[in-house]
């Protein structure tokens, strides 16, 4: 076995001392045994320096959330429909359709003749004859009284148009066969019937006479006297009013002359005979 020369050992110790692996004197680490002759000497691996401790991550402050748009916030905070109310809401459209169908249709278009007559009566006649035709300053019109005096509508139209003065104070008017005798112009409480021929249009005159006869006195239209739209027709189915709203005979001639008197002759108590000139 070959001895390692002293100068090689010293060099080895110096090298180790330089690397911090111990040097001369007590407390040194034992010198490793020399490698065998011919053995390949492996260089010493330096001890890796301790890794520095990982730096603690800095605390990141959370980013505040962006504010919600007002319509989104309103949608999130609005009250929800209770579950029990859902069936009620489901049947509401059906109920609305049924309810709408039960309502009476609104009146559209022109006012009917009887409605217009009621308006004219309230404005012009009720103060004397009473709101329901019971009488007062003027004669009673309700309970069939009008029909007893004027069996035909034409004679009544003439009387309302010309009044007591047109008949002549003290003269009789209406049906001479009336129970209790014919009415005398100006005899009821000493009051005269005003003339409305120049106050009312033919349309208003016809409407108020219809109201007094049909609504107040209870006249019933028979056969073709009532048109499909509620208008009153002559016995041969022709309208009493033409397109211009003028009272006409069935052959289209004016029913009343300029003074308000009939232009046709009628037999008292019977319908007017169309086309016959009046003798008055």
pLDDT for the residue numbered 40? 53
Alpha-carbon span 280 to 264, nearest angstrom: 9
269-275 contact pairs (CB < 8 A, 24+):
269/151, 269/152, 269/175, 269/177, 270/151, 270/152, 271/152, 271/154, 271/235, 272/152, 272/154, 274/234, 274/236, 274/249, 274/250, 275/249, 275/250, 275/251
Coil, helix or strand at residue 274: strand
For domain 113-277, the CATH superfamily is Cytochrome c-like domain (1.10.760.10)
Q: Could you read off the pLDDT tens digit of each residue along the chain, which spans 280 residues?
A: 566 678 777 888 888 877 776 655 444 444 555 555 555 555 555 554 455 555 566 676 777 777 878 877 777 777 777 767 777 777 888 878 877 766 655 555 678 999 999 999 999 999 999 999 999 999 999 999 999 999 999 999 999 999 999 999 999 999 999 998 999 999 998 889 999 999 999 999 999 999 999 999 999 988 778 888 888 998 788 999 999 999 999 889 999 999 999 999 876 554 444 333 332 2
């Amino acid at each position: 076995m070959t001895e390692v020369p002293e100068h090689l050992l010293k060099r080895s110790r110096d090298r180790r001392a330089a690397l911090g692996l111990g040097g001369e004197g007590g407390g040194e680490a034992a010198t490793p045994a020399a490698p065998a002759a011919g053995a390949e000497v492996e260089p010493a691996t330096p001890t890796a320096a301790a890794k520095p401790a990982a730096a603690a991550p800095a605390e990141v402050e959370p980013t505040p959330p962006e504010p919600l748009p007002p319509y989104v916030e309103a949608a999130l905070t609005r009250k929800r429909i209770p579950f029990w109310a859902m069936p009620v809401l489901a049947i509401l459209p059906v109920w609305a359709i049924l309810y709408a169908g039960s309502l009476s249709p609104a009146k559209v278009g022109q006012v009917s003749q009887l409605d217009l007559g009621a308006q004219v009566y309230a404005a012009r006649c009720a103060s004397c004859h009473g709101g329901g035709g019971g009488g007062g300053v003027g004669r009673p019109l309700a309970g069939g009284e009008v029909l007893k005096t004027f069996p035909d509508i034409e004679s009544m139209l003439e009387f309302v148009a010309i009044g007591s003065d047109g008949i002549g104070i003290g003269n009789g008017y209406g049906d001479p066969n009336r129970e209790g005798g014919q009415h005398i112009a100006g005899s009821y409480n000493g009051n005269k019937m005003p003339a409305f021929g120049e106050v009312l249009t033919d349309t208003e005159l016809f409407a108020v006479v219809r109201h007094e006869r049909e609504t107040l006195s209870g006249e019933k239209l028979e056969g073709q006297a009532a048109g499909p739209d509620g208008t009153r027709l002559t016995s041969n189915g022709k309208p009493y009013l033409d397109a211009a709203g003028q009272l006409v005979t069935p052959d289209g001639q004016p029913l009343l002359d300029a003074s308000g008197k009939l232009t046709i002759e009628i037999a008292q108590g019977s319908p007017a005979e169309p086309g016959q000139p009046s003798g008055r």
